Structure 1
Amino acid sequence: FGDRAFCFFCAVSALLAAPLWYMTLSGGISFETCMGFLLAEYLVAESWLGPAIAALQSAVPPDRRGTAQGVFSSLTALGNLLPAGLGLLAAGDLNSGFQVSVTACYVLSGLCFLVAADSFPKDQPLPREP
């Protein structure tokens, strides 16, 4: 898989996190079960950062890596605005708002990583910095 493996790992992590997050906020389950889902969600959802940065750094020329990292960090910060927007929901709608929106974002993220993986060369590794 070469450098594509980074993107595949991130895609699998995001796609596994989606149902785990959804189940975390599902009604009718015990607190302990909810915390088990949350633990599993954190384990898979938070493991994507390193491989995502590695894929980004290997995909851009060395002289543009700083800019690429800056754009990545800015988009990550922009994504942190979602909870602020959801805070405008009525108190009774917060649970379902977070459940649906975060799950949808995980699925979208996984699909984006699959598209990114397809953009890497399939039979040769990318050139490395000397």
Structure 2
Amino acid sequence: KVVILIGAASIRFMGGYAISGYLPYMYSAVFDDYETIYAYLNAYVVAFGGFCSSIAGGWVTSKWVVTQPKANYYVPAIGCLLGCPFIAICCLSSNFYVSMLCGLFLEYLVAECWFGPYMSALQSSLPPRVRGLGISVMMFSATFFGSLMSYAIGEWYDGCCDGSGAYIRYIVLYAVLGTYLTSAAGFYWASTIDDEPVATESKPLLSDEP
């Protein structure tokens, strides 16, 4: 179960890296007359949209978990699914303001709710004495695969698009949709697996005693 959770988070980070790494280039290529206003709006979208989404994700989970113990798995999955139509609007719209405000802003508003509930699910699935190690492994894995996604998109773009900026929107769209849908499936899959009972442990991790 922990492996599935770490894998799902790593895939979700891949989608996030695709957005943060290549959307600026997409807007520069597709909406080259809006570079200045894009810089201002993007800062607002990332900061305000991400903040509101994080707060809402934690609040919804804290209320829902009272009646649904798996809420901290479902909220990340739902966030990924809800983000898909808005990233499509962001990448495919021919209107800059529709792309930014009806696409990217709403994508951040619904999709960035996942991290707090996810961390709750991961911690509850780990024995208390290895929670710090487990979270460190998750962050390493997520950062590694996120960086790998950035590299893969760069190779994909250089190899098949002949330097044309018009195609970057489709590459970003397919990358984000693929990672969001896969991570949503991973979060749901993890929710179907029961936690193993954890025995009370008083010995240190590196104890030599049998």
**Rg comparison, structure with higher value:** 2
Identity across the alignment (%): 26
Q: In the alignment, is residue 13 of structure 1 matched against residue 101 of structure 2? A: no
In structure 1, stretches of 5+ residues that fail to align are none
SS at match of 2:113: coil
Name the residue aligned to 1:57. 123
Name the residue aligned to 1:103. 177
Q: Distance in 1 between matches of 2:84 and 2:141?
A: 20
Structure 1 position 27, deviation (Å): 4.1
Structure 1 position 120, deviation (Å): 3.5
Q: Distance in 2 between matches of 1:49 and 1:79?
A: 16
Name the residue aligned to 2:112. 46
Are 1:21 and 1:99, in contact at CA under 8 Å, matched by a contact in 2? yes
Q: Give the 5 Å matches for 1:106-125.
A: 106-120=180-194
Q: Distance in 2 between matches of 1:84 and 1:19?
A: 25
Give TM-score scaled by structure 2 length: 0.54
Q: Distance in 2 between matches of 1:48 and 1:102?
A: 15
In structure 2, stretches of 5+ residues that fail to align are 1-67, 201-210
In the alignment of these two chains, the number of paired residues is 122
RMSD over equivalenced CA pairs, Å: 1.9
Q: In the alignment, is residue 86 of structure 1 matched against residue 127 of structure 2? A: no
Runs of 4+ in structure 1 deviating by more than 4 angstroms, as ranges, are: none
Q: Kindly provide the amino acid, as one letter, of the partner of residue 81 in structure 2.
A: L
Q: Distance in 2 between matches of 1:120 and 1:7?
A: 12
Q: Distance in 1 between matches of 2:113 and 2:145?
A: 17
Structure 1 position 8, deviation (Å): 0.3
Are 1:15 and 1:110, in contact at CA under 8 Å, matched by a contact in 2? yes
Taking CA–CA contacts closer than 8 Å with sequence separation of 6 or more, which of the two structures ends up with the larger relative contact order?
1
Are 1:15 and 1:107, in contact at CA under 8 Å, matched by a contact in 2? yes
Q: Kindly provide the amino acid, as one letter, of the partner of residue 173 in structure 2.
A: Q
The structure that is helix-richer by fraction is 2
Are 1:22 and 1:100, in contact at CA under 8 Å, matched by a contact in 2? no
Q: Kindly provide the amino acid, as one letter, of the partner of residue 44 in structure 1.
A: V
